[in-house]
Structure formats: C-alpha cells, structure tokens
Amino acid sequence: MPTIKRFSNVTLYIFGNDHVPPHFHLRGPNTQCQVHIETLQVIRGRYDRRDYAEAVAWAADNQALLCSVWSDLNE
C-alpha cells in the first residue's frame, strides 16, 4: 500500500492488485473513502468535506501521476 501523499488529516494511498475503476484511497480519522482518479468523485466511503477538498485539489493537479502509479501497481 504505497503512500502517495500526506495531507493535514488524511493520507492518499493507491493499492496494488486493486479493482477497477482506477482510484485512490483517502484515510484519516474522519475519512475513509475511495475516489475515482479520472472524475475525482467518491466511489464509496465516508469523508470529511475539508479533508476531501484538500486531497482532491492536489489530485486535480496530479492526475497524470496518479494514473501512472495506478498503472504501475495494477497492470
């Protein structure tokens, strides 16, 4: 479970051998969810709005990196 980025209250992970669609996981005290890399929409789970906003702002600027890491770990 590679850590991709740590934020104030959550950490962004991408797991190897994970299910499609390509997504990342956010985990923290008030957040545990999966976010679709392409749309940046929550696939499942619960989240704190501020934690989600901080992570998705970074993810929007780093989608190519997230896609690359997903591909390396899952193909």
Cβ contacts of 58 within 8 Å, gap of 6 or more: 5, 7, 12
pTM > 0.85: yes
Q: What pLDDT sits at residue 75? A: 82
**What's residue 1's pLDDT?**
67
List the pLDDT tens digit at each of the 75 positions of the chain: 689 999 999 999 999 999 999 999 999 999 999 999 999 999 999 999 999 999 999 999 999 999 999 999 998
- Paired with 35 in beta bridges are 24, 42
Nearest to 24 by CA among 54, 8, 7, 44: 44
Query: Which H/E stretch holds residue 61?
Result: helix 49-61
Token pair for residue 20? Answer: 């499609």
Q: Whole-angstrom Cα distance, residue 5 to residue 19? A: 21
